[in-house]
Amino acid sequence: MKRISSLLATAGACAAVGTVFAMVGLILTEILLRNVFATSTFIVDEYVGYGVAASTFMAAAAALRDGKMIRITWLLDKLPAGSLAARLLDAVSALVALSVTGFAAAYFCRSVLRHLERGSTSDTVAQTPLWLPEAVVLLGLFLLGLQLLTILVGALSPRPARPDRPAAYLE
C-alpha cells in the first residue's frame, strides 16, 4: 500500500508540475498576443483558475507524504516519540483529515456526475465541460485520501518505521 500510494502521489505531483508549466505557457502566449498582435486567447483567466485548483489538489498527496503539509504538532511534540499516545493522536488526526477529504470527495463526485449528466459547460468563450476540472480535483482528493489512509494504517501498526516523523509511515 505504501509503495502504490507513494507512486500515485509522485504521479500527481508530476501532473501538478506539468500544469504549472502549461499555465506559464498560456500566460506567456497571452502576453505575446496582447502586446504584439493586439488580440487575446480569451481563456487565460478560466484556464489558469482551473490550473491552480488542479495543481493544488494533485500535489497535496505528495506534500503530505514528504512532510511538507502544514501540521499542528504542539501536542504531538510533547508526547514521547513512538508512544501509544503519539500513535493514537496521529491516527485520530489522520482519521479526521480522511473524513473531511472523503466528504469533499463525495461532494465533487456528485458534482462531476451532475455536470456529466447535464452536459454543463462554462459560461465563457471556451465552453469547457465543467466535469473536467472538477474530475481533476476529485482525483487529487482521492490521492490525498489514499495517503491519509496509509498514515492511518501506519499509525495503527505495531511498530512504525520512524516514530519521530508522522509522515514516516509513508516511507
- pLDDT tens for each residue of 106-164: 999 999 999 999 999 999 999 999 999 999 999 999 999 999 999 999 888 876 455 45
Residues 50 and 60: their CA atoms lie apart, in Å, by: 16
Instruction: Give the structural domain span for 88.
Output: 2-170
In the predicted model, what is the mean pLDDT of residues 58-87?
86
Residues 154 and 156: their CA atoms lie apart, in Å, by: 5
Each residue of 45-54: pLDDT tens digit?
999 999 999 9
Assigned C-alpha cell, 137? 480535483
Q: How high is the pLDDT of residue 171? A: 47
Q: How high is the pLDDT of residue 165? A: 53
Please choose, from the candidates 137, 120, 138, the residue with its C-alpha nearest in 3D space to the C-alpha of residue 129: 120
**The cell 487575446 sits on which residue?**
40
Please choose, from the candidates 99, 94, 69, 63, the residue with its C-alpha nearest in 3D space to the C-alpha of residue 160: 94
What is the amino acid identity at position 89?
L
Packed helices 44-65 and 131-156: angle between N→C axes, nearest 10 degrees: 10
Q: What's the domain count of the chain?
A: 1
Average pLDDT for the chain: 91
